[in-house]
Structure 1
Amino acid sequence: MSHSISGSTQAYLIPGDPVRNVRLPRMFNAAFERYGIDAVLLPMQVPVRDFAVFFKSAFLARNVRGMVIAPPHKPLVVDLLEGCGLFGRVAGSVNVVRRTEGDQLEGDLFDGEGLIGALDHYNIPFRGKRVLILGAGVSAAAIGVALAEGGTVNGAAHIAMYDKAAGKAAGVAAKLDAFFDANVVAADSNAPEGFDLVINATQLGLSDDDAAPVDVTRMDSHAALFDILLRNQPTPLVRAARARGLNAQAGFEMLIQQMPHYFRYFGHMDAADAMAADAGFLREIIYPPAMHAEIAQPLRYRSPSVA
């Protein structure tokens, strides 16, 4: 970030714990500079026990216009808002908050919409398909909402959620099934047979020593895999799926596809439209150098081979 900060600069905050590895400040500040917006996004290290006090206190500063919420605080925000969008209400979590012109605080959740954008970017079909979501936490719930609702088109034909914690997937699946009248169920196992798309929404893969969240050798030869993790990419799971010739993608694009939604939510419409049309500069920032070839050739895993 090279532009100067003055008394008229709008402040956006990203509270989390930890915040050492958050990527959004670099992305936001690069976009602010690129599009001539006098604003800055700053990371804030905030323990869970202090979050509610911090959240309310931060907005006492009139130049704090909004927040992007990092883990583990996303589920803590909903009860602190005057208004909440559909995805946030259903998932019980938000990742963005804005101050309205009426001085109200409202939030929403764009994890799922980021996932939908990433799937479309990589030409991974999900509409009318069978999808297995691994995990039933905040991100998995947001993804389930987006897939069940499907944006403005028909969502997935069948969504199964699996989590090793007993009852966790069943609770999320039941809520989604009831709210959207969609075909969402809790899976008895992580067996991938019969699914067109497998989404890893667990933390497994952050270390090379982690157990694989799914056995990719059992995935159908036409199936695709999306791993939402940002660190340690390409994860062993992604590498194993690609070794089979499957369309397997890392989570970076999910974050990139959220950026236009964030900026539109904060009222920066022209910047949002520009990023939706061309987000190449964001990919250069967020993708590790070893994966930069994938920026230029995002479609090279589109044609699966027979296992």
Structure 2
Amino acid sequence: MTQSIKFKNRAWENAALLLLPDNFDEKQKYPAIISVHPIGSCKEQTSGNVYGKALAEAGYIVLAIDASFQGESGGSPRFIEDPYERIEDIRCAADYLMTLPYIDEDRIGILGVCGGGAYSLNAAMTERRIKAVVSITGVNFGRLTREGFAGGTPIETLDAIAKQRTAEARGSELLVNDLLPASVEIAQKNGITDIDVLEATEYYKTPRGQKPNGATSAMFSRLGVAIGWDAFFMAEELLTQPILVVIGEKPGAFGAYRDGFEIVRRAASAKKELLVVKGQSHYDLYDKPEAVSQALEKVIPFFKENL
């Protein structure tokens, strides 16, 4: 059973899917998982319709959320990708779960995919209601942005953002960039060969993964905050919950492979595990049955053990 719900954030509401297990009984107490979507994605994609669905079938209540300024959530202007707000989204999702009488408040976990994976790890550092964390092909969006994802070196990008933000303050049209090429064919014609960019385009720009609210867009003038943010800052001291980090064996430019090794090395968690899924890539782990099944073979027992 799936319910579309809204929960309170600051001056707006966030949209989410509440996935309930079979034979749900509101008089019982259930463990819950907050499921966090990738950058430029939405709750109806991999975080909800793949991992959220599987976890609900395994007996968990899953709250698959849309980020503020994205999907069906509130917040204006649209398409802001703000790491600090993404963490607040998770806190507000936890607040909402605390209002449900059938949730066991001491058994709250979190799972995130791609950028959502690193957001989940970061949120757990300061949100102690989260008791266990799973990162699926997690990407540190701060590191990715500093390395040129926004179009240049950090200082070049910050200078361009400053000019654009000034122009917008004076009435210019908002600049919203599509994070991906329009098609795989166009990407290849432009000389793009990286596996992550090509497979992301194949996922988001074709019926395989395309959804109305999976915009793969970001407002350029608000990306400066990402350059100064790091998902893994203070992990050595503050990340103490059990963590499971899942990455594909095939590395790509978005850097989930190296980010996975880094956070497992740095986390203070006494219980931490890295799963490298053989022969699979970043986007295989979004929805390809072979990759997802191998991930879930670890994910479901991990939550059962730690929640």
* Shared fold (TM-score, shorter chain, > 0.5): no
TM-score (norm 2): 0.36
Higher relative contact order (CA 8 A, sep 6+): 2
TM-score (norm 1): 0.36
Q: Kindly indicate which of the two structures has a greater share of residues assigned to strand.
A: 2
